[in-house]
Amino acid sequence: MLITGPITGVPTSIGELRTVKDALPGTPVLASTGVTADTVGETLSIADGVIVGTHLKYDGVTWNPVDPERATTFMAAATKARAEMVV
């Protein structure tokens, strides 16, 4: 189940994400808009995964190419969040 914000790049509501996750136990739930390096930890504390696009682009602009530095920063934050969940 994909939970989105109102438009591309706008965050998924954490409250809506939690409501859907609670209502559909056993169903994978993913946040599919607006996840950033700053919010991926909180988002993954509820969601089973995320779909990321705009945040990884140069200047956070949807139509720009992927910025390797942004992608590296995002993946470091996501990896850290997942590691903290295992502990």
Which CATH number fits the domain that encloses residue 82?
A: 3.20.20.70
What pLDDT score does 74 carry?
97
Distance CA 81, CA 79 (A): 5
**Rounded Cα–Cα distance for residues 81 and 36 (Å):** 12
Indicate the pTM of the whole model. Answer: 0.89
Domain total for the chain?
Answer: 1
Owning domain of residue 69? 2-86
DSSP annotation of 46: T
- Report, as an integer, the average pLDDT of 25-42: 95
Give pLDDT tens digits for 34-83. 999 999 999 999 999 999 999 999 999 999 999 999 999 999 999 999 99
pLDDT at 86: 75
Map residue 74 onto helix, strand or coil: helix
